[in-house]
Amino acid sequence: MTETLHLDDFLQGGWRRYEFEYFREGVEICRLVRGEPELALLRYAPGASVPKHLHMGLETILVLEGSQSDEFGHYGPGALVTNPQGTVHSVSSPEGCVVLIQWTKPVKIL
């Protein structure tokens, strides 16, 4: 994606006009920046989850809509979550959610 992102528009839901594609069962992705680091939107369907995984680098998440949970807490709109290298957790979203996510290295599914 080469489009300039304007924060006010983006946070007001401008991200809804972007195209998403399959990422994993119940989760779609819109890649904003490819490579390392990578910046993307993840859209979780209600009830979707990501199994336990190890972070090989820093991951930063901003919850835009809905909520998600892991072993460390429950995060709603506006929550900024960091998972440093070495963090292990699993993610679930009973109601579904959309997050802005940046990771410096891929995760390892355990």
Local confidence pLDDT in tens for the 110 residues of the chain: 566 777 788 788 888 999 999 999 999 999 998 888 899 999 999 999 999 999 999 999 999 999 999 999 999 999 999 999 999 999 999 999 999 999 999 999 99
Q: Can you tell me which residue has the tokens 């904003």? A: 32
Look up the pTM and report it: 0.91
Q: With respect to residue 51, please indicate whether it lies within any of the assigned structural domains.
A: yes
Tell me the residue range of the domain where 43 lies: 29-68+79-110
For residue 55, which phi and psi values (nearest 5 degrees)? Answer: -85, 120
Domain count, the chain: 1
- Is the CA virtual torsion 56, 52, 40, 35 positive or negative? positive
CA distance 96 to 103: 21
Within-domain flag for 14 = no
- Give domain status of residue 74, yes or no: no
Helical residues (DSSP H) of 1-107, grouped into ranges: 7-11
Residue 105: CATH number of its domain: 2.60.120.10
In a domain, 47, yes or no: yes
- With respect to residue 57, please indicate whether it lies within any of the assigned structural domains: yes
Please check whether residue 22 lies inside any domain of the structure: no
